[in-house]
């Protein structure tokens, strides 16, 4: 009931929570992914985020991105959120590849275990960020270390008790209860960097695909497989043109060079879109294009 | 026809970087790997028709500057068509930079009195707030240091389209038959029912001419081109974005670079966008043409046929007027 009060939006947006210690790169990621900021060398001196902010993104699924500043104490973050973690479809935890892991990992465990406790359908994603700060050879090794650390820590935790939200009486009286080993919590890892926007776009594609998965991903993939077959295309991506990430692709493996080129192409088309926009000619054009087949006889509005 | 272009300015001001972005199609992010230029690096860049740019990238360390101004004075400053002098907007030694600049200008007046002078206030991306006022102040400063020599000032950065704007104007000033090209582009635009037609040089994608130019050429004497473009579009019902040309150059260069990473060659581009149709295709050996059409009844294929039919005429135009 409390939830309804928070989002009496026109429709329900899938909510994604960006988490991470201070300066881990959350705001920068948001800027590059959704605000078309070009990361140059002397990139965004993002002001220290001090307030939580929410951002509506109209991608193929309506999203709302919540960006909360890191606090030393995770309970402070919960307080600032003001809603339970079960509000979110996805948690993205941003961890700086050079950061002191123990603190970040402790932070991560707090949120991931609590979120999972409340909702076993939640998608838990980790962005191992600022990959550019490590030489290529060490990058993957570093990322693997972080992953192992997280798994180790999870294994050391006591079994967690699930509050099953799908139970009929989800009031405080008698929630149906099961327990799970923390090491079984599914977590997906991505290596990211704002200086390599393709890497970031690919990571966010995968986040979106997991969000779509139960509902329509299998159908989309089948559709694209069929398209590939009948058009002799070697690879097909279905892009969300707003966010410039793909939301589905055919079954063949994704080769990052091809993906990068497609991203750049979509970016270019998007940028061209407004470049030669005419203040006098533009408005009717789109309408006519759509309307023409419907009323072929009655043109010129 | 060879035109000598001098690229000068203090060490680290960004000369070699801009050269590599414009002429070698390198991304801006890779310029940090460039080393300081030793002495002068000469490059021949084949441009339109027979026009060849002879680009002299002059290393800017003091010892080199001193020798340009003394023992090499005649060699450097003779037969110069264009001098481009680059100032780092964040330079700590502006008074020293200006002193060298004044000395170069003096040498230029003696050896190449007809040379056109462009001044670039570079690395504008480093300026966070108040770009406009800072550029204005710098412009005034530079004007005060230029005596009677007419100058054109641009604020530039390799990280955005401003670099293309400046360089398009620079090469435009070097092209002898720009007005003829504009006239024919206008005719062509009419034939295609196009809103606008733009001609690019093939490797740099700098804008050579457009069908849209008004009577006043963009680089008149003394014209400070910082905020002038807004007035250019008066009387135009479309009121297209004044930064469209340089942004087009930048976008296409970036995409060409993406293609080259895949070892794919960039050939042409047809875009049917919600607001307009644009076709970008080869026109002559060293130019590309872009046709922008807002009329939704014009078919893309028709535009392409028109481009094909116009090729011969434009090849002719280029070779004719460049003896
Ligand atoms: N932020 C920023 N940095 C730039 C820009 N242009 C160039 N740089 C950087 O400035 C540094 C020096 O650039 P160079 O092109 O080597 O300078 P140069 O003028 O050729 O120097 P000399 O060859 O010694 O005369 C490089 O690290 C470039 O990445 C710009 O527009 N913005
Ligand atoms: N080298 C590098 N620096 C980054 C990257 N992402 C962010 N940063 C820098 O990290 C700092 C903190 O970023 P910010 O987005 O404010 O972090 P937040 O506090 O988590 O929102 C900024 O100075 C960014 O420029 C990255 O991928 N690589
Ligand atoms: Mg140099």
Question: A188 and A216 share a domain?
Answer: no
Quote the mean pLDDT of chain B. Answer: 87
In the prediction, which pLDDT does B221 show?
40
Taking the mean position of all CA atoms in its chain, how far away is CA A69?
A: 17
Q: List, as one string, the DSSP characters of B121-160.
A: EE-GGG--S-HHHHHHHHHHHHHHTSTT--EEEEE--TTS
Residue partners of A168: CB distance under 8 A and separation at least 6: none
B276 neighbors B293 (Cβ within 8 angstroms): yes
B94-111 and B62-69 helices, crossing angle to 10°: 30
With CA atoms as reference, report the closest residue to B8 among B74, B106, B71, B76.
B76
Q: Is the dihedral of CA A79, A84, A85, A88 positive or negative?
A: negative
In the prediction, which pLDDT does B275 show?
86
The partner residue sitting opposite A257, judged by closest CB among B125, B238, B262, is: B262
Q: Distance, CA B35 to ligand 3 centroid (Å)?
A: 7
A40 contact residues in B (CB cutoff 8 A): 28-29, 125, 159
The partner residue sitting opposite B274, judged by closest CB among A40, A258, A273, is: A273
- A297 in a domain, yes or no? no
Angle, CA A242 vertex, CA A241 and CA A244 arms, to 5°:
60
The answer to which of A159-163, B193-197, B211-215 has the lowest mean pLDDT is B211-215
Name the DSSP class of B238. Answer: S
A162 neighbors A224 (Cβ within 8 angstroms): no
Q: Which two tokens stand for residue A64?
A: 């709302």
Check CB contact of B235 with chain A, cutoff 8 Å: no
Q: Which of residues 262-301 of A touch B (CB under 8 A)?
A: 264-265, 268-269, 271-282, 285-286, 288-289
Residue partners of B74: CB distance under 8 A and separation at least 6: B111
Q: Is the dihedral of CA A117, A118, A123, A128 positive or negative?
A: negative
- A205 in a domain, yes or no? no
A278 to B238: CB separation less than 8 angstroms, yes or no = yes
Q: Distance, CA B187 to ligand 2 centroid (Å)?
A: 52
In the prediction, which pLDDT does B50 show?
78
Question: A149 and A68 share a domain?
Answer: yes
Residue partners of A198: CB distance under 8 A and separation at least 6: A256, A259, A260, A263
Delineate the domains of chain B, giving CATH numbers in brackets.
2-159 (3.40.50.300), 179-320 (3.30.450.190)
Strands B40-46 and B2-9: unpaired
**Minimal CA separation from A249 to chain B, in Å:** 19
Q: Distance, CA B14 to ligand 3 centroid (Å)?
A: 7
- Which residue's alpha carbon is nearest to atom 2 within ligand 1? B123
Strand segments, DSSP code E, in A196-279 are 237-240, 245-249
Given a cut of 70, is residue A46 above it in pLDDT? no
- Which residue's alpha carbon is nearest to atom 28 within ligand 1? B32
- Which residue's alpha carbon is nearest to atom 22 within ligand 1? B11
Domains: count for chain A: 2
- A293 in a domain, yes or no? no
A183 neighbors A155 (Cβ within 8 angstroms): yes
Token match 């002299």: residue? B56
Question: A184 and A225 share a domain?
Answer: no
**Minimal CA separation from A179 to chain B, in Å:** 50
Residue of A nearest to B262 (CA): A257
Element (H, E) at B275: none
Mean pLDDT value across residues B308-317? 89
Strands B116-122 and B269-272: unpaired
Question: A188 and A224 share a domain?
Answer: no
- A42 in a domain, yes or no? yes
Question: A182 and A217 share a domain?
Answer: no
- A9 in a domain, yes or no? yes
Residue partners of B37: CB distance under 8 A and separation at least 6: B15, B16, B57, B58, B59, B60
Residue of B nearest to A258 (CA): B262
Q: Which two tokens stand for residue A221?
A: 């993939």
CATH code of the domain containing A239 = 3.30.450.190
- A8 in a domain, yes or no? yes
With CA atoms as reference, report the closest residue to B57 among B122, B11, B103, B89.
B11
pLDDT band at A294 (very low <50, low <70, confident <90, very high): very low
Q: List, as one string, the DSSP characters of A108-140.
A: HHHHHHHHHHH-TT-EEEEEEE-GGGS-HHHHH
Measured from the alpha carbon of residue A195, the closest ligand is 2
Q: Is the dihedral of CA A8, A10, A14, A15 positive or negative?
A: negative
Measured from the alpha carbon of residue B86, the closest ligand is 1
With CA atoms as reference, report the closest residue to B85 among B61, B47, B132, B120.
B120
Q: Distance, CA B37 to ligand 3 centroid (Å)?
A: 4
B167 neighbors B204 (Cβ within 8 angstroms): yes
Token match 């750049």: residue? A264
B276 neighbors B195 (Cβ within 8 angstroms): yes
What are the CA-CA distances from residue B145 to residues A193, B82, B95, B103, B117 (Å)?
A: 44, 18, 10, 10, 13
With CA atoms as reference, report the closest residue to B271 among B290, B247, B288, B243.
B290
Question: A114 and A238 share a domain?
Answer: no
- Which residue's alpha carbon is nearest to atom 23 within ligand 2? A45
Q: Which two tokens stand for residue B259?
A: 């293609």
- The 10s digit of each residue's pLDDT in B160-206 is 899 999 999 998 888 888 888 899 999 999 999 999 999 999 889 99
B271 contact residues in A (CB cutoff 8 A): 269, 272
In the prediction, which pLDDT does B77 show?
94
Question: A176 and A40 share a domain?
Answer: yes
Suggest the residue from B165, B189, B275 to mutate for an interface test with chain A (most A CBs closer than 10 A): B275
pLDDT band at A167 (very low <50, low <70, confident <90, very high): very low
B29 to A269: CB separation less than 8 angstroms, yes or no = no
Angle, CA B241 vertex, CA B239 and CA B242 arms, to 5°:
100
Domain residue limits at A236: 212-274
With CA atoms as reference, report the closest residue to B120 among B78, B168, B187, B75.
B168
- A285 in a domain, yes or no? no
Last residue of a domain, one of A195, A222, A240: A195
Given a cut of 50, is residue B224 above it in pLDDT? no
pLDDT band at A39 (very low <50, low <70, confident <90, very high): low
What is the rounded CA–CA span in Å between residue B208 and residue B182? 9
Question: A18 and A119 share a domain?
Answer: yes
B7 neighbors B19 (Cβ within 8 angstroms): yes
B295 contact residues in A (CB cutoff 8 A): 281
Strand segments, DSSP code E, in A49-207 are 53-58, 62-67, 90-96, 123-129, 160-163, 177-180, 188-191
- Which residue's alpha carbon is nearest to atom 11 within ligand 2? A23
Taking the mean position of all CA atoms in its chain, how far away is CA A53?
A: 16
Q: Which two tokens stand for residue B230?
A: 């807004």
Q: Distance, CA A216 to ligand 3 centroid (Å)?
A: 54
- The 10s digit of each residue's pLDDT in B82-135 is 999 999 999 999 999 999 999 999 999 999 999 999 999 999 999 988 889 999
Question: A60 and A97 share a domain?
Answer: yes
SS3 A234: coil
Check CB contact of B196 with chain A, cutoff 8 Å: yes
CATH code of the domain containing A6 = 3.40.50.300
pLDDT band at B144 (very low <50, low <70, confident <90, very high): very high
- A201 in a domain, yes or no? no
Given a cut of 50, is residue A244 above it in pLDDT? yes
A40: phi then psi, degrees, rounded to nearest 5: -100, -175
Question: A48 and A116 share a domain?
Answer: yes
Residue B196: strand pairing partners: B292
- The 10s digit of each residue's pLDDT in B227-264 is 444 444 455 677 788 889 999 999 999 898 888 888 88
Taking the mean position of all CA atoms in its chain, how far away is CA B62?
A: 27
B294 to A271: CB separation less than 8 angstroms, yes or no = no
A27 neighbors A46 (Cβ within 8 angstroms): yes
Question: A139 and A102 share a domain?
Answer: yes
A276 to B237: CB separation less than 8 angstroms, yes or no = no
In the prediction, which pLDDT does A133 show?
81
In the prediction, which pLDDT does B168 show?
92
In the prediction, which pLDDT does A177 show?
65
Question: A54 and A188 share a domain?
Answer: yes
What is the rounded CA–CA span in Å between residue A55 and residue B93? 44
Please give the number of the atom of ligand 1 that sits closest to the Cα of B35: 16
CA dihedral B53, B166, B285, B194 (to 10 degrees): -160
Q: Which two tokens stand for residue B142?
A: 């530079």
Q: Radius of gyration of chain B from Cα atoms?
A: 20
With CA atoms as reference, report the closest residue to A123 among A239, A224, A217, A10.
A217
Quick count: other Cβ atoms within 10 Å of Cβ A8?
Answer: 8
Mean pLDDT value across residues A67-84? 85
B107 neighbors B80 (Cβ within 8 angstroms): no
């Amino acid at each position: 009931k409390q939830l309804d009060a928070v989002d009496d939006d026109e429709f329900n947006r899938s909510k994604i929570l960006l988490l991470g210690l201070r300066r881990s790169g959350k705001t920068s990621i948001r800027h590059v992914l959704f605000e078309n900021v070009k990361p140059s060398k002397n990139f965004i001196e993002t002001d220290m985020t001090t307030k939580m902010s929410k951002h509506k993104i109209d991608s193929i699924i309506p999203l709302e991105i919540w960006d909360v500043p890191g606090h030393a104490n995770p309970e402070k973050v919960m307080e600032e959120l003001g809603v339970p973690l079960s509000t979110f479809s996805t948690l993205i935890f941003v961890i700086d590849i050079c950061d002191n892991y123990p603190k970040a990992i402790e932070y991560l465990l707090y949120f991931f275990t609590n979120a999972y406790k409340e909702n076993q359908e939640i998608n838990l994603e980790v962005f191992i960020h600022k990959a550019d700060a490590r030489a290529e050879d060490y990058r993957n090794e570093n990322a693997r270390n972080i992953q192992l650390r997280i798994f180790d820590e999870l294994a050391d935790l006591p079994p967690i008790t699930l509050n099953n939200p799908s139970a009929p009486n989800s009031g405080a009286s008698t929630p149906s209860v099961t327990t799970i080993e923390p090491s079984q919590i599914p977590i997906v890892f991505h290596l990211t960097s704002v200086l390599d926007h393709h890497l970031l776009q690919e990571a966010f594609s995968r986040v979106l695909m997991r969000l779509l998965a139960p509902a329509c991903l299998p159908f989309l993939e089948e559709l694209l497989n069929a398209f590939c077959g009948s058009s002799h295309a070697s690879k097909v991506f279905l892009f969300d043109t707003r966010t410039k990430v793909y939301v589905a692709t055919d079954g063949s493996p994704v080769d990052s060079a091809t993906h990068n080129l497609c991203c750049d192409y979509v970016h270019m088309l998007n940028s061209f879109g407004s470049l030669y926009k005419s203040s006098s000619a533009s408005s009717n054009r789109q309408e006519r294009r759509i309307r023409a087949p419907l009323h072929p006889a009655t043109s010129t509005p | 026809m060879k035109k000598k272009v001098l690229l000068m300015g203090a060490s680290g001001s960004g000369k070699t970087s801009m050269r590599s972005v414009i002429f070698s199609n390198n991304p801006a992010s890779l310029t940090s790997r460039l080393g300081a230029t030793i002495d002068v690096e000469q490059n021949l860049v084949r441009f339109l028709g027979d026009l060849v740019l002879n680009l002299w990238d002059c290393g800017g360390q003091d010892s080199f500057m001193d020798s340009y101004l003394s023992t090499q004075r005649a060699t450097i400053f003779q037969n110069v068509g264009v001098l481009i002098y680059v100032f780092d907007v964040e330079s700590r030694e502006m008074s020293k930079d200006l002193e060298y600049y004044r000395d170069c200008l003096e040498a230029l007046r003696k050896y190449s009195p007809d040379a056109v002078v462009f001044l670039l206030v570079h690395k504008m991306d480093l300026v966070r707030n108040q770009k406009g006022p800072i550029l204005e102040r710098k412009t005034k400063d530079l004007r005060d240091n230029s005596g009677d020599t007419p100058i054109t000032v641009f604020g530039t950065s390799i990280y955005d389209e401003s670099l293309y704007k400046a360089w398009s104007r620079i090469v435009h000033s070097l092209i002898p038959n720009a007005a003829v090209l504009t006239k024919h582009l206008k005719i062509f635009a009419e034939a295609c029912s196009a809103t606008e037609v733009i001609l690019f040089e093939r490797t740099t994608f700098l804008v050579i001419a457009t069908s849209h130019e008004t009577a006043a050429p963009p680089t008149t004497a003394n014209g400070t081109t910082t905020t002038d473009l807004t007035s250019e579009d008066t009387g135009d019902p479309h009121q297209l974005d004044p930064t469209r040309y340089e942004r087009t150059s930048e976008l296409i260069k970036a995409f060409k670079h993406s293609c080259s990473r895949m070892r794919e060659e960039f050939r042409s581009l047809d875009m049917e966008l919600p607001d307009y149709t644009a076709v970008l295709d080869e026109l002559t050996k060293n130019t590309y043409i872009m046709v922008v059409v807002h009329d939704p009844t014009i078919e893309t294929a028709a535009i392409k046929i028109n481009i094909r039919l116009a090729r011969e005429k434009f090849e002719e135009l280029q070779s004719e007027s460049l003896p």
